[in-house]
Amino acid sequence: MLNHITVTFEGDHILVLTEGDKDYEFLERLWSQVSRACEKHRCFNVLGVANTSTPIEAVEAYELPRIFRENNIDDRYRIAWVEQSPEAADTVSFAASILSNRDLPGRDFETIEEARQWLAERSDD
């Protein structure tokens, strides 16, 4: 599987760029890197922008709550995710619903602008 993750601190948020094929191992790597960057910079606003060629399986989405717990991703976090691949958007929405149903952070957006605006509003709380 070919995939790539870039995690950078942007001052008021952590920017996560992903592309390629996604699977369970990818999820573990992704959220471990995000968690480390958030802790290092004491910044828990996360903007994710993905361009997925092969999305995770639905059953793998059910593993996200455990992966979040293992990486101490909790209510300190505000995660806004944009999937740019129409073929993977439903899977991201499904994963966001799983997280929401378990009171874990993670919301999907159609555009980067919407996601940025939501993060900005949330950081004013």
| pLDDT, tens digit (0-9, with 9 covering 90-100), for 79-120 | 999 999 999 999 999 999 999 999 999 999 999 999 999 999
Q: How far is CA 63 from CA 15, 86, 105, in A?
A: 23, 23, 14
Range of the domain at 111: 3-123
pLDDT at residue 125, as a whole number: 46
| Structural domain total, the chain | 1
Ordered strands of the 14-21 beta sheet: 3-9, 14-21, 45-54, 78-83, 107-109
Question: Quick check: 82 and 49 in contact, CB under 8 A?
Answer: yes
pTM (two decimals): 0.92
Q: Among residues 119, 94, 104, which one has the least CA distance to residue 16?
A: 119
> What CATH number did the domain enclosing 92 receive?
3.30.750.24
Whose CA is closest to 68, among 55, 77, 57, 59?
77
